Structure 1
Amino acid sequence: MEISFFLLPKDEVAFIVSSASMQEAIEQLEFHHYTALPVIDNEGKYVGTLSEGDMLWKLKNTSGLSFDNLQQVPVHEIKKRIYNECVSINAQMEDMLALAADQNFVPVVDDDRTFLGIIRRKDIIEYYTKNITD
Protein backbone atom coordinates (compact mmCIF):
# COMPACT_ATOMS: atom_id res chain seq x y z
CA MET A 1 0.00 0.00 0.00
CA GLU A 2 1.20 3.50 -0.81
CA ILE A 3 1.96 5.78 2.09
CA SER A 4 -0.01 8.67 0.60
CA PHE A 5 -3.13 7.00 2.01
CA PHE A 6 -1.81 7.70 5.55
CA LEU A 7 -0.40 11.16 4.91
CA LEU A 8 -1.39 13.88 7.34
CA PRO A 9 -0.87 16.86 5.00
CA LYS A 10 1.34 19.83 5.82
CA ASP A 11 -1.63 22.16 6.33
CA GLU A 12 -2.82 19.90 9.18
CA VAL A 13 0.62 19.44 10.78
CA ALA A 14 2.46 21.60 13.28
CA PHE A 15 5.94 22.39 11.99
CA ILE A 16 8.52 25.14 12.45
CA VAL A 17 10.57 27.13 9.94
CA SER A 18 14.32 26.97 10.56
CA SER A 19 14.54 30.79 10.77
CA ALA A 20 11.97 30.90 13.62
CA SER A 21 13.19 31.43 17.16
CA MET A 22 13.67 28.89 19.91
CA GLN A 23 10.90 30.73 21.78
CA GLU A 24 8.48 30.12 18.89
CA ALA A 25 9.44 26.44 18.77
CA ILE A 26 8.77 26.00 22.50
CA GLU A 27 5.42 27.75 22.14
CA GLN A 28 4.47 25.45 19.22
CA LEU A 29 5.40 22.34 21.21
CA GLU A 30 3.46 23.55 24.22
CA PHE A 31 0.38 24.58 22.23
CA HIS A 32 0.16 21.27 20.36
CA HIS A 33 1.33 19.09 23.28
CA TYR A 34 4.09 17.58 21.11
CA THR A 35 7.61 16.51 21.97
CA ALA A 36 9.06 17.19 18.50
CA LEU A 37 8.35 19.22 15.36
CA PRO A 38 9.40 18.86 11.73
CA VAL A 39 11.70 21.71 10.67
CA ILE A 40 11.52 23.15 7.17
CA ASP A 41 13.62 25.83 5.53
CA ASN A 42 12.28 29.01 3.94
CA GLU A 43 11.80 27.14 0.66
CA GLY A 44 9.61 24.48 2.31
CA LYS A 45 12.24 21.72 2.27
CA TYR A 46 12.48 19.29 5.19
CA VAL A 47 15.73 19.86 7.11
CA GLY A 48 15.20 17.86 10.29
CA THR A 49 13.16 17.39 13.43
CA LEU A 50 13.53 19.53 16.53
CA SER A 51 12.86 17.85 19.87
CA GLU A 52 12.35 19.08 23.41
CA GLY A 53 15.65 17.44 24.29
CA ASP A 54 17.49 19.38 21.58
CA MET A 55 16.27 22.63 23.10
CA LEU A 56 17.06 21.57 26.65
CA TRP A 57 20.64 20.72 25.65
CA LYS A 58 20.94 24.09 23.86
CA LEU A 59 19.70 25.88 26.98
CA LYS A 60 22.05 23.92 29.24
CA ASN A 61 25.14 24.29 27.05
CA THR A 62 24.81 27.95 26.00
CA SER A 63 26.26 30.43 28.44
CA GLY A 64 23.90 33.32 29.11
CA LEU A 65 20.91 31.68 27.46
CA SER A 66 17.76 31.78 29.57
CA PHE A 67 14.01 31.75 29.13
CA ASP A 68 14.20 35.54 28.84
CA ASN A 69 16.24 35.58 25.62
CA LEU A 70 15.15 32.46 23.71
CA GLN A 71 13.78 34.66 20.92
CA GLN A 72 17.40 35.49 20.00
CA VAL A 73 18.23 31.88 19.07
CA PRO A 74 17.10 30.74 15.60
CA VAL A 75 16.02 27.12 15.30
CA HIS A 76 18.73 26.42 12.69
CA GLU A 77 21.36 27.09 15.39
CA ILE A 78 20.04 24.33 17.65
CA LYS A 79 21.98 21.10 17.23
CA LYS A 80 19.74 18.13 16.50
CA ARG A 81 20.75 15.15 18.62
CA ILE A 82 19.12 12.71 16.22
CA TYR A 83 18.37 13.11 12.53
CA ASN A 84 14.87 11.81 11.84
CA GLU A 85 14.78 10.29 8.39
CA CYS A 86 12.13 11.32 5.92
CA VAL A 87 10.61 9.22 3.14
CA SER A 88 9.47 9.91 -0.37
CA ILE A 89 5.77 10.16 -1.07
CA ASN A 90 6.39 7.26 -3.49
CA ALA A 91 7.57 4.90 -0.73
CA GLN A 92 5.66 1.80 0.30
CA MET A 93 4.40 1.03 3.80
CA GLU A 94 7.12 -1.58 4.26
CA ASP A 95 9.67 1.23 3.95
CA MET A 96 8.11 2.91 6.96
CA LEU A 97 8.45 0.11 9.52
CA ALA A 98 12.07 0.64 10.52
CA LEU A 99 11.64 4.40 10.72
CA ALA A 100 8.43 4.17 12.72
CA ALA A 101 10.19 2.04 15.32
CA ASP A 102 12.52 4.94 16.14
CA GLN A 103 10.40 8.00 15.38
CA ASN A 104 6.98 9.18 16.60
CA PHE A 105 6.28 10.39 13.09
CA VAL A 106 7.92 10.08 9.71
CA PRO A 107 8.21 13.23 7.59
CA VAL A 108 7.14 12.77 3.96
CA VAL A 109 8.73 14.71 1.11
CA ASP A 110 8.46 14.91 -2.67
CA ASP A 111 11.34 14.31 -5.09
CA ASP A 112 12.72 17.80 -4.36
CA ARG A 113 12.61 17.21 -0.55
CA THR A 114 9.68 19.62 -0.21
CA PHE A 115 7.84 18.81 3.00
CA LEU A 116 4.39 17.34 2.27
CA GLY A 117 3.34 16.22 5.75
CA ILE A 118 3.84 13.35 8.15
CA ILE A 119 2.77 9.82 8.84
CA ARG A 120 2.22 9.11 12.50
CA ARG A 121 3.62 5.96 14.09
CA LYS A 122 0.17 5.36 15.56
CA ASP A 123 -1.35 5.09 12.06
CA ILE A 124 1.33 2.65 10.92
CA ILE A 125 0.82 0.45 13.97
CA GLU A 126 -2.96 0.50 13.51
CA TYR A 127 -2.58 -0.47 9.85
CA TYR A 128 -0.36 -3.45 10.60
CA THR A 129 -2.39 -4.51 13.62
CA LYS A 130 -5.55 -4.57 11.56
CA ASN A 131 -3.89 -6.56 8.76
CA ILE A 132 -2.38 -9.10 11.15
CA THR A 133 -5.64 -9.72 12.99
CA ASP A 134 -7.86 -9.90 9.88
Structure 2
Amino acid sequence: MTIDSLKQSQLMSKEISDLIISHEKVAHVQLQNPLDHALLILIKSGYTAIPVLDNDFRVRGQISKNEILDSILGLERLEIERLHDITVETVMKNKIPRLKTDATFAKALTTSINHPFICIEDEKTSFVGILTRSSILALVNRYFQQ
Protein backbone atom coordinates (compact mmCIF):
# COMPACT_ATOMS: atom_id res chain seq x y z
CA MET A 1 0.00 0.00 0.00
CA THR A 2 1.45 3.36 -0.99
CA ILE A 3 1.54 6.42 1.26
CA ASP A 4 -1.07 8.15 -0.95
CA SER A 5 -3.48 5.22 -0.80
CA LEU A 6 -2.95 4.98 2.97
CA LYS A 7 -3.74 8.70 3.36
CA GLN A 8 -6.81 8.31 1.15
CA SER A 9 -7.99 5.33 3.20
CA GLN A 10 -7.51 7.32 6.41
CA LEU A 11 -9.52 10.22 5.01
CA MET A 12 -12.42 8.05 3.86
CA SER A 13 -12.64 6.18 7.18
CA LYS A 14 -12.34 9.36 9.28
CA GLU A 15 -15.38 10.09 11.47
CA ILE A 16 -17.35 13.23 10.65
CA SER A 17 -17.56 14.55 14.22
CA ASP A 18 -15.01 17.33 13.62
CA LEU A 19 -17.02 18.70 10.69
CA ILE A 20 -20.43 18.94 12.39
CA ILE A 21 -21.94 22.38 12.94
CA SER A 22 -23.51 22.20 16.41
CA HIS A 23 -27.29 22.46 16.78
CA GLU A 24 -26.86 25.68 18.79
CA LYS A 25 -25.56 27.38 15.64
CA VAL A 26 -28.13 25.93 13.20
CA ALA A 27 -31.24 27.86 12.18
CA HIS A 28 -34.32 25.63 12.44
CA VAL A 29 -38.10 25.72 12.86
CA GLN A 30 -40.64 23.49 14.55
CA LEU A 31 -43.51 21.49 13.07
CA GLN A 32 -46.29 23.82 14.22
CA ASN A 33 -44.62 27.10 13.24
CA PRO A 34 -46.56 29.06 10.63
CA LEU A 35 -44.95 29.47 7.21
CA ASP A 36 -44.47 33.22 7.70
CA HIS A 37 -42.16 32.43 10.64
CA ALA A 38 -40.25 29.83 8.62
CA LEU A 39 -39.86 32.23 5.70
CA LEU A 40 -38.56 34.92 8.05
CA ILE A 41 -35.97 32.50 9.50
CA LEU A 42 -34.90 31.42 6.01
CA ILE A 43 -34.53 35.01 4.78
CA LYS A 44 -32.68 36.24 7.90
CA SER A 45 -30.33 33.24 7.94
CA GLY A 46 -29.60 33.40 4.23
CA TYR A 47 -30.21 29.67 3.82
CA THR A 48 -32.44 28.11 1.20
CA ALA A 49 -33.48 25.23 3.49
CA ILE A 50 -33.40 24.49 7.23
CA PRO A 51 -34.21 21.51 9.48
CA VAL A 52 -37.66 21.03 11.02
CA LEU A 53 -37.64 19.72 14.58
CA ASP A 54 -40.35 18.39 16.88
CA ASN A 55 -40.79 19.29 20.56
CA ASP A 56 -38.37 16.51 21.55
CA PHE A 57 -35.61 18.02 19.39
CA ARG A 58 -35.79 15.27 16.79
CA VAL A 59 -35.46 15.95 13.08
CA ARG A 60 -38.76 15.52 11.25
CA GLY A 61 -37.85 17.04 7.89
CA GLN A 62 -36.70 20.21 6.23
CA ILE A 63 -38.40 23.29 4.85
CA SER A 64 -37.18 25.43 1.99
CA LYS A 65 -38.16 28.66 0.32
CA ASN A 66 -39.40 26.61 -2.64
CA GLU A 67 -41.86 24.59 -0.54
CA ILE A 68 -43.17 27.77 1.07
CA LEU A 69 -43.61 29.60 -2.23
CA ASP A 70 -45.24 26.57 -3.86
CA SER A 71 -47.78 26.42 -1.03
CA ILE A 72 -48.98 30.00 -1.57
CA LEU A 73 -48.90 29.97 -5.35
CA GLY A 74 -52.39 30.78 -6.59
CA LEU A 75 -53.68 30.72 -10.14
CA GLU A 76 -52.86 34.36 -10.82
CA ARG A 77 -50.76 35.58 -7.89
CA LEU A 78 -48.92 34.64 -4.73
CA GLU A 79 -51.45 34.40 -1.92
CA ILE A 80 -49.18 35.85 0.74
CA GLU A 81 -52.02 36.25 3.24
CA ARG A 82 -52.08 32.43 3.57
CA LEU A 83 -48.56 32.31 5.05
CA HIS A 84 -49.79 32.65 8.62
CA ASP A 85 -52.51 30.00 8.26
CA ILE A 86 -50.33 27.15 6.96
CA THR A 87 -47.96 25.25 9.26
CA VAL A 88 -44.48 24.04 8.43
CA GLU A 89 -45.58 20.43 8.98
CA THR A 90 -48.02 20.54 6.06
CA VAL A 91 -45.47 21.53 3.40
CA MET A 92 -42.08 20.30 4.63
CA LYS A 93 -40.09 17.48 3.03
CA ASN A 94 -40.12 14.38 5.20
CA LYS A 95 -37.43 12.37 3.43
CA ILE A 96 -34.13 14.05 4.08
CA PRO A 97 -30.54 12.86 4.44
CA ARG A 98 -29.50 11.90 7.97
CA LEU A 99 -26.38 10.38 9.45
CA LYS A 100 -25.31 9.32 12.91
CA THR A 101 -22.45 11.11 14.66
CA ASP A 102 -20.09 8.17 14.10
CA ALA A 103 -20.62 7.99 10.33
CA THR A 104 -17.52 7.88 8.16
CA PHE A 105 -16.37 10.62 5.84
CA ALA A 106 -16.93 8.27 2.87
CA LYS A 107 -20.62 7.92 3.79
CA ALA A 108 -20.97 11.68 4.29
CA LEU A 109 -19.29 12.41 0.96
CA THR A 110 -21.64 10.06 -0.89
CA THR A 111 -24.72 11.42 0.91
CA SER A 112 -23.78 15.05 0.26
CA ILE A 113 -23.70 14.73 -3.53
CA ASN A 114 -27.35 15.71 -3.93
CA HIS A 115 -27.87 17.68 -0.69
CA PRO A 116 -26.47 20.99 0.57
CA PHE A 117 -26.54 19.71 4.15
CA ILE A 118 -27.07 16.50 6.11
CA CYS A 119 -28.81 16.37 9.49
CA ILE A 120 -26.74 14.60 12.14
CA GLU A 121 -28.41 12.62 14.92
CA ASP A 122 -27.12 10.84 18.00
CA GLU A 123 -27.91 7.24 18.91
CA LYS A 124 -31.24 8.36 20.45
CA THR A 125 -32.13 10.20 17.19
CA SER A 126 -31.84 13.62 18.83
CA PHE A 127 -30.65 16.45 16.59
CA VAL A 128 -26.92 17.09 17.03
CA GLY A 129 -26.29 19.50 14.14
CA ILE A 130 -25.63 19.55 10.43
CA LEU A 131 -22.85 18.62 8.09
CA THR A 132 -22.62 20.93 5.09
CA ARG A 133 -21.46 19.98 1.64
CA SER A 134 -19.10 22.96 1.76
CA SER A 135 -17.32 21.62 4.87
CA ILE A 136 -16.91 18.24 3.16
CA LEU A 137 -15.50 19.87 0.04
CA ALA A 138 -13.15 22.01 2.14
CA LEU A 139 -11.67 18.87 3.71
CA VAL A 140 -11.30 17.21 0.30
CA ASN A 141 -9.60 20.37 -0.98
CA ARG A 142 -7.15 20.40 1.97
CA TYR A 143 -6.39 16.72 1.30
CA PHE A 144 -5.51 17.39 -2.34
CA GLN A 145 -3.48 20.50 -1.49
CA GLN A 146 -1.13 18.50 0.75
TM-score (norm 2): 0.83
Larger Rg: 2
Q: Deviations over 1:16-63 (max 9, x none)?
A: 11111101000000101110011111111111111111112211269x
1:98 aligns with 2:110: yes
| Residues 1:10 and 2:23 aligned together | yes
The residue type paired with residue 85 of structure 1 is P
Unmatched 5+ stretches in structure 1 = none
Which letter maps to 1:112? K
Q: Percent identity?
A: 23
**Other structure's SS at 1:125 match:** helix
Whether 1:57 and 2:70 are equivalent positions in the alignment is yes
- Alpha-carbon RMSD: 1.8
- CA distance in 2 between partners of 1:95 and 1:78 (Å): 28
Q: Is the 8 A contact 2:62 2:92 kept in 1?
A: no
Other-structure match for 1:75: 88
Please give the alpha-carbon distance, in whole angstroms, between the structure 1 residues aligned to 2:58 and 2:74: 28
The answer to whether the 8 Å contact 1:18/1:75 transfers is: yes
Q: What is the rounded CA distance, in whole Å, between the counterparts of 1:70 and 1:112 in structure 2?
A: 33
Per the normalisation by structure 1, the TM-score is: 0.90
Give the match's secondary structure for 2:67: helix
**Does residue 1:34 correspond to 2:51, yes or no?**
no
Structure 1 segments (4+ residues) deviating >2 Å:
none
Deviations 1:62-83 (A, max 9, x none): 9xx8222311111001152x73
Unpaired runs of 5+ residues, structure 2, are: 1-13
Q: 1-side partners of 2:71 and 2:81: how far apart?
A: 14
Q: Secondary structure at the match of 2:73?
A: helix
Instruction: Tell me the secondary structure at the aligned position of residue 71 of structure 1.
Output: coil
- Partner Cα separation in structure 2 for residue 49 and residue 99 of structure 1: 16
